[in-house]
């Protein structure tokens, strides 16, 4: 199913939000190469990281599908989606 541009923007916003959560956890816990995390911290971080990567992969697949269905270049769709998703409303 080809997604609309608005759906792609919402998907990108969700992926961006999930990425921000990953970065916030890393900042809160310290970098794992510099500080030893507890088991709970590691599990929380890994769960957030997997969620972000899953959402990001979904966006990439949907952008590709949308571009193919619209007969447009993928990079054009991706740039439009990222720009619109990251612009304040």
Domain ranges of the chain: 5-86
Closest CA to 2 of 56, 73, 68: 68
Tell me if the pTM is above 0.95. no
Nearest to 57 by CA among 8, 88, 85, 15: 15
pLDDT tens, 26-67? 999 998 788 899 999 999 999 999 999 999 999 999 999 999
């Amino acid at each position: 199913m080809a997604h609309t541009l608005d759906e792609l923007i919402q998907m990108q916003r969700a992926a961006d939000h999930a990425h921000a959560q990953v970065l916030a956890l890393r900042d809160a816990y310290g970098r794992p190469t510099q500080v030893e995390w507890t088991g709970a911290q590691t599990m929380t971080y890994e769960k957030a990281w997997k969620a972000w990567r899953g959402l990001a992969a979904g966006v990439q697949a949907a952008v590709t599908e949308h571009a193919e269905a619209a007969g447009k270049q993928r990079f054009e769709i991706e740039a439009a989606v990222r720009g619109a998703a990251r612009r304040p409303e």
